[in-house]
């Protein structure tokens, strides 16, 4: 009897909960405190401040495996819902292939690409390697003897190195890439000589160049970056451009009018002073693209990353 009353009460509470959830629910497929978590929370905070969207926001953090765990949960619980969004990024694309995840990004509703961080490749400050060219030459001569560290296998860092090898004619499968547990370990690995070079986001490396511990050789952006006197990969003669971008997806099957509404809101956010302030304090670069063109961008990344992962022997 007691149990039954308890269960009924539970159902009532649960249904009230669902009704109250007419607000937008946002999946943050990462642990609190990380980059994706920050992107989602800061974007909605800025939207609220700018008066673009002032209703409630329900955030869910489900971290792990490049966002594929969170997105799988999102897909199961939020498909066809009008107001369900998820943060994701470049890493997700490769992770889906690596983990044979059932997620198909093309079924999602592309809303907006918000920010990007470009990558840099660096060697020890005392290394005899002075330029990107010299590093690539060393890789050409003996790829195994040039261990390069970076983020998780199949992640953006790995893809960037593979693209560099590809454009220089070094067999991607021979590249000695060693995924490191954290950016801290990549930096210490470069300095103590375990790694010949390391690849990571600018924010993780720049201060260590300022401290005189490492030397940054190249940048994966289209143009040079103010405040960082480093040539791009393209200038050095390698046609590689890649960024660790982050964006927002709508649930698969999101009704068209809701999608249009959210795209309009993010367009407005992108123009707002509040968002510009967030980008400045966080050190994020704007990399805005919304709606169907963003969908085409995701598809292109999918193809490019898929090819590289196959060449690297990580995906069949």
Partner 1 sequence: MESLEYLMHGFGVALQPMNLLWAFIGSALGTAIGVLPGIGPALTIALLLPVTVSIGPTSAFIMFAGVFYGAMYGGSTTSILINTPGEAGSMMTALEGNRMARRGRGAAALATAAIGSFVAGTLATFALTFVAPFVAELAFVFKPADYFALIVLAFCSVAVVMGNSRTRGLISLFLGLGMGVIGIDNMTGQPRLTFGQAELLNGVELTVVLVSLFAIGEILFVVSRYDPGKEAPLVVSGKWMTKQDFSRSWRPWLRGTAIGFPMGTLPGGGSEIPTMLSYTLERKLSKHPEEFGHGAIEGVAGPEAANNAAAAGVLVPLLTLGLPTSATAAVLLAAFQNYGLQPGPNLFTSNADLVWGLIASLYIGNIMLLVLNLPLIGMWVKLLSVPKPQLYAGILIFALIGIWGVSGSEFDLMVMVLVGVAGYVMRVYDFPIAPVLIGLILGPMAEYQLRTALTAAQGNPATLIETPISITFLTVAALVFIVPMLVKRLRQRG
Q: At what angle do helices 132-141 and 156-168 cross, to 10 degrees?
A: 80
Measured from the CB atom, is 258 or 272 closer to partner 1?
272
Smallest gap from residue 64 Cβ to partner 1 (A)? 4
- Does position 107 bind partner 1 by CB under 8 A? no
- Does position 193 bind partner 1 by CB under 8 A? yes
Q: Which of 79, 131, 133, 188 binds partner 1 (CB under 8 A)?
A: 188
Number of residues that bind partner 1 (CB under 8 A): 54
In the range 256-275, which residues lie near partner 1 by CB under 8 A?
Answer: none
SS (H, E, C) 193-248: CCCCEEEEEHHHHHHHHHCCCEEEEEECCCCCECCECCCECCCCCCCCCCEEEEEE
Cα 62 from Cα 74, distance rounded (Å): 9
Cβ distance 32 to 61 under 8 Å?
yes
Measured from the CB atom, is 244 or 290 closer to partner 1?
244
Report the chain's C-alpha Rg in angstroms. 22
- Does position 125 bind partner 1 by CB under 8 A? no
In the range 134-153, which residues lie near partner 1 by CB under 8 A?
Answer: 144-145, 147, 152-153
Burial label for 80, CB within 10 Å (0-12, 13-18, 19+), is: exposed
Cα 223 from Cα 234, distance rounded (Å): 9
Cα 203 from Cα 116, distance rounded (Å): 12
Among 29-37, 165-173, 225-233, 245-253, the segment contacting partner 1 (CB under 8 A):
29-37
Smallest gap from residue 147 Cβ to partner 1 (A)? 4
- Does position 32 bind partner 1 by CB under 8 A? yes
Measured from the CB atom, is 107 or 207 closer to partner 1?
207
In the range 152-181, which residues lie near partner 1 by CB under 8 A?
Answer: 152-154, 176, 178-181
Measured from the CB atom, is 140 or 234 closer to partner 1?
140
Q: Which of 21, 50, 98, 228 binds partner 1 (CB under 8 A)?
A: 98
Cβ distance 37 to 31 under 8 Å?
yes
Q: Which of 79, 270, 274, 282 binds partner 1 (CB under 8 A)?
A: 282
Rounded to whole angstroms, what are the CA distances from 184 to 39, 60, 204, 218?
Answer: 22, 28, 8, 20
| Sequence-separated (6 or more) residues with CB below 8 Å from residue 74 | 27, 29, 84, 86, 251
- Does position 93 bind partner 1 by CB under 8 A? no
Cα 251 from Cα 239, distance rounded (Å): 34
Measured from the CB atom, is 33 or 169 closer to partner 1?
33
Cβ distance 57 to 248 under 8 Å?
no
Measured from the CB atom, is 5 or 100 closer to partner 1?
100
- Does position 227 bind partner 1 by CB under 8 A? no
Compute how many other C-beta atoms are within 10 angstroms of the C-beta atom of residue 193.
11
Which positions lie near partner 1, rule CB under 8 A? 31-34, 37-38, 41, 45, 60, 62-65, 68-69, 72, 94-95, 98-101, 144-145, 147, 152-154, 176, 178-182, 184-185, 187-189, 191-195, 203, 207-208, 210-211, 213, 281-283, 314
């Amino acid at each position: 009897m007691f149990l039954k009353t308890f269960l009924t009460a539970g159902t009532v509470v649960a249904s009230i909960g669902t009704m109250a959830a007419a607000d937008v629910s946002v999946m943050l497929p990462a642990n609190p405190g990380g980059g994706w978590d920050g992107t989602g929370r800061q974007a909605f905070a800025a939207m609220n401040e700018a008066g673009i969207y002032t209703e409630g926001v329900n955030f869910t953090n489900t971290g792990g495996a490049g966002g594929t765990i969170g997105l799988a949960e999102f897909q199961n619980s939020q498909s066809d819902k009008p107001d369900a969004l998820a943060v994701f990024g470049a890493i997700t694309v490769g992770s889906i292939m690596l983990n044979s995840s059932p997620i198909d990004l093309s079924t999602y509703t592309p809303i907006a690409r918000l920010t990007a961080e470009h990558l840099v490749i660096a060697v020890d400050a005392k290394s005899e390697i002075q330029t990107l060219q010299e590093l690539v030459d060393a890789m050409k001569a003996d790829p195994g003897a040039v261990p390069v560290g970076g983020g998780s296998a199949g992640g953006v860092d790995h893809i960037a190195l593979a693209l560099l090898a590809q454009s220089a004619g070094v067999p991607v499968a021979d590249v000695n890439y060693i995924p490191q547990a954290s950016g801290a370990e990549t930096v210490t690995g470069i300095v103590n000589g375990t790694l010949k070079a390391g690849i990571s986001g600018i924010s993780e490396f720049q201060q260590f160049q300022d401290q005189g511990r490492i030397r940054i050789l190249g940048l994966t952006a289209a143009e040079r970056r103010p405040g960082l006197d480093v040539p791009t990969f393209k200038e050095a003669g390698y046609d590689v451009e890649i960024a660790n971008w982050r964006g927002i997806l709508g649930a698969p099957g999101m009704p068209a009018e809701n999608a249009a509404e959210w795209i309009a809101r993010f367009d407005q956010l992108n123009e707002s002073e509040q968002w510009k302030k967030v980008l400045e304090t966080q050190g994020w670069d704007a990399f805005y693209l919304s709606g169907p063109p963003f969908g085409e961008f995701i598809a292109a990344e999918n193809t490019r990353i898929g090819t590289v992962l196959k060449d690297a022997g990580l995906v069949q």
